[in-house]
């Protein structure tokens, strides 16, 4: 684990030292770009949407997808705020003195990993699954448990949990552990326990709750 120790200075100096507001704007722009590409080159090419265009009814879906752009900053801000708070509570309970502001910025930086599946989804539907229906498009999430099931035979309540449990989420867990470790400069094992007992536990409870309320 020496590479984790050696990476602390690089993270603090090269990543954590950047301006938080600028990074947030850049992150939003990356999501905007991914949504624009998916909407323009994938969704518009799906047969059902082509029918709507011919009928002159596509404006309804344009409004729907347009709202996604406005929701990105709000969603990201809410996600970072909640995640940082959960981690802050975990750090507090285990006696780690890491400020909420420090955790918020760290969470925002680590969220960059979720840009990768957005890009992979674009690549998948542009070059491999070139004639999907809308349900294929919505059900697909790269490297997720959903890929091991036939979504058409699954109850709708399992779709989101199976997509949410994916390789990039697990990588995110590891990044959060590293982040808490780097910010606190204490034991890696304890950082793993903090993240496991706070964010990961909350994440699993949320997925279970989602399934229960959709019975």
Percentage with pLDDT > 90 across the chain: 57
- Those residues with Cβ within 8 angstroms of residue 108's Cβ, 6 or more apart along the chain or in another chain: 20, 23, 24, 27, 76, 80
Percentage with pLDDT > 70 across the chain: 84
Q: Which of 22, 110, 37, 106 is nearest to 69 (CA)?
A: 37
Confidence of residue 44 (pLDDT cuts 50, 70, 90): low
Helix/strand/coil for 166? strand
Per-residue pLDDT tens over the stretch 1-40: 677 877 888 888 888 889 999 999 999 999 988 888 877 7
pLDDT at 211 over 60: yes
Bin 95: left if φ > 0, else alpha if -120 < ψ < 50, else beta: left
Per-residue pLDDT tens over the stretch 102-128: 999 999 999 999 999 999 998 998 888
How far lies 45's CA from each of 4, 42, 183, 186, in Å?
44, 5, 46, 52
- What is the C-alpha radius of gyration for the chain, rounded to an integer number of angstroms? 19
Q: What is the pTM of this model?
A: 0.88
């Amino acid at each position: 684990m020496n590479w984790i120790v050696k990476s602390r200075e690089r993270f603090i100096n090269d990543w954590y030292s950047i301006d938080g507001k600028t990074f947030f704007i850049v992150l939003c722009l990356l999501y905007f770009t991914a949504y624009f590409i998916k909407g323009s080159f994938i969704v518009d090419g799906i047969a059902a949407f082509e029918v709507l265009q011919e009928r002159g009814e596509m404006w309804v879906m344009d409004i729907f997808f347009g709202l996604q752009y406005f929701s990105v900053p709000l969603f990201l801000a809410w996600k970072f705020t909640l995640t940082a708070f959960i981690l802050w509570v975990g750090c507090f309970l285990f006696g780690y003195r890491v400020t909420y502001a420090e955790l918020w910025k760290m969470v925002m930086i680590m969220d960059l990993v979720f840009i990768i599946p957005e890009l992979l989804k674009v690549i998948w539907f542009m070059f491999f699954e070139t004639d999907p229906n809308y349900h294929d498009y919505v059900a697909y999430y790269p490297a997720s448990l959903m890929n091991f099931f036939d979504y058409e035979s699954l109850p709708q309540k399992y779709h989101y949990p199976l997509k949410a449990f994916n390789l990039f989420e697990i990588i995110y867990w590891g990044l959060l552990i590293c982040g808490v470790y780097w910010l606190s400069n204490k034991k890696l094992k304890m950082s793993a326990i903090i993240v496991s007992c706070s964010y990961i536990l909350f994440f699993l409870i949320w997925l279970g709750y989602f399934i229960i309320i959709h019975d």
